[in-house]
Structure 1
Amino acid sequence: MQTKPTFAPELIIPNGVTDVSFYTSVFGATELRRFSNDDGSIHVVELSINGTLFHLHEETSNFSAVRPDKYDSTTVIIGLFVDDVHAVVDRAINAGAEMLSPVQDYDYGYRQGRIKDPFGHHWMIEKAI
């Protein structure tokens, strides 16, 4: 049986983080697994949004990735398709995200709004219209 290719982003978070409820409360993510450090902080958390996996991983010196807030920039914008773009963006802002681009309809057929989550990751919340 051949495995269907799927993306599972791994988002880097600062050391010492214990609360990632932003993702469960804003995006409806379900926490599947958590690997904690001795102090109770997160080493890795596996989350799912409607069956799509992603991971949060603490920044470590033996990893070649850094968290985006370290340099106030990002090389990736994560697209998340939802039914109600306005509602998800509003929840994100109320939960501590920063508005990068307000929700609007574009002539190429998408309703989109872009936010930066509390850990600096950029999300394009969108829907085909």
Structure 2
Amino acid sequence: MKDKPVFAPELAIPNGITDISFYIDAFGAEELRRFSNDDGTVHVSELAINGAVFHLHEETPHTGLRSPQRNGPSVIIGLFVADVHAVFEQAVAAGAKITSPVQDYDYGYRQGTIEDTFGHRWQIQCAI
């Protein structure tokens, strides 16, 4: 992994969060490590979905890192999976809101978009 770049997004979450189970329940993420504040809330959590690493980080306004709940989403995270419908339904069952239902597009992708419990948008997709 040293020799090639790896994309690892950092998603801002509101301060005071203790429960990040959405990512585990919705996508089967594994929490690799967590750095907690003195009160037990999440400062940073490192998670992976099938080896793809991403981070949750509490808001730090002095650096400009704010959760989508404060400013609205600025990116959509694309997650390629084998069974779009199954992962999409699992995410909805875990508390996600549907922003665009799963459908097949003429450019060769099956995609559906959800908003997670912290306001981040995820596009669940596969090539067809």
Instruction: Give the number of aligned pairs.
Output: 128
Q: Which runs of 5+ in 1 are unaligned?
A: none
**Structure 2 residue aligned with 1:80:** 79
- Secondary structure of 1:62's counterpart equals helix
Question: Structure 2 vs 1, CA of residues 120 and 104 (structure 1 numbering), >3 Å: closer, same or farther?
Answer: same
| Shift >6 Å, 4+ stretches | none
State how far apart, in whole Å, the 2-side matches of 1:122 and 1:79 are. 9
Q: Which runs of 5+ in 2 are unaligned?
A: none
The answer to whether residue 54 in structure 2 is matched with residue 24 in structure 1 is: no
- Measured after TM superposition, the shift of residue 54 of structure 1 is 0.3
The alignment's TM-score, normalised by the length of structure 2, stands at: 0.95
The alignment's TM-score, normalised by the length of structure 1, stands at: 0.95
State how far apart, in whole Å, the 1-side matches of 2:100 and 2:8 are. 25
State how far apart, in whole Å, the 2-side matches of 1:55 and 1:92 are. 18
**Structure 2 residue aligned with 1:92:** 91
State how far apart, in whole Å, the 1-side matches of 2:90 and 2:70 are. 25
**Structure 2 residue aligned with 1:115:** 114
State how far apart, in whole Å, the 1-side matches of 2:90 and 2:79 are. 14
- Measured after TM superposition, the shift of residue 2 of structure 1 is 5.8
The answer to whether residue 34 in structure 2 is matched with residue 34 in structure 1 is: yes
Aligned identity (percent) is 65
**Structure 2 residue aligned with 1:103:** 102
Range moving further from structure 2, 62-71 or 95-104: 62-71
- Measured after TM superposition, the shift of residue 92 of structure 1 is 1.1
- Secondary structure of 1:17's counterpart equals coil
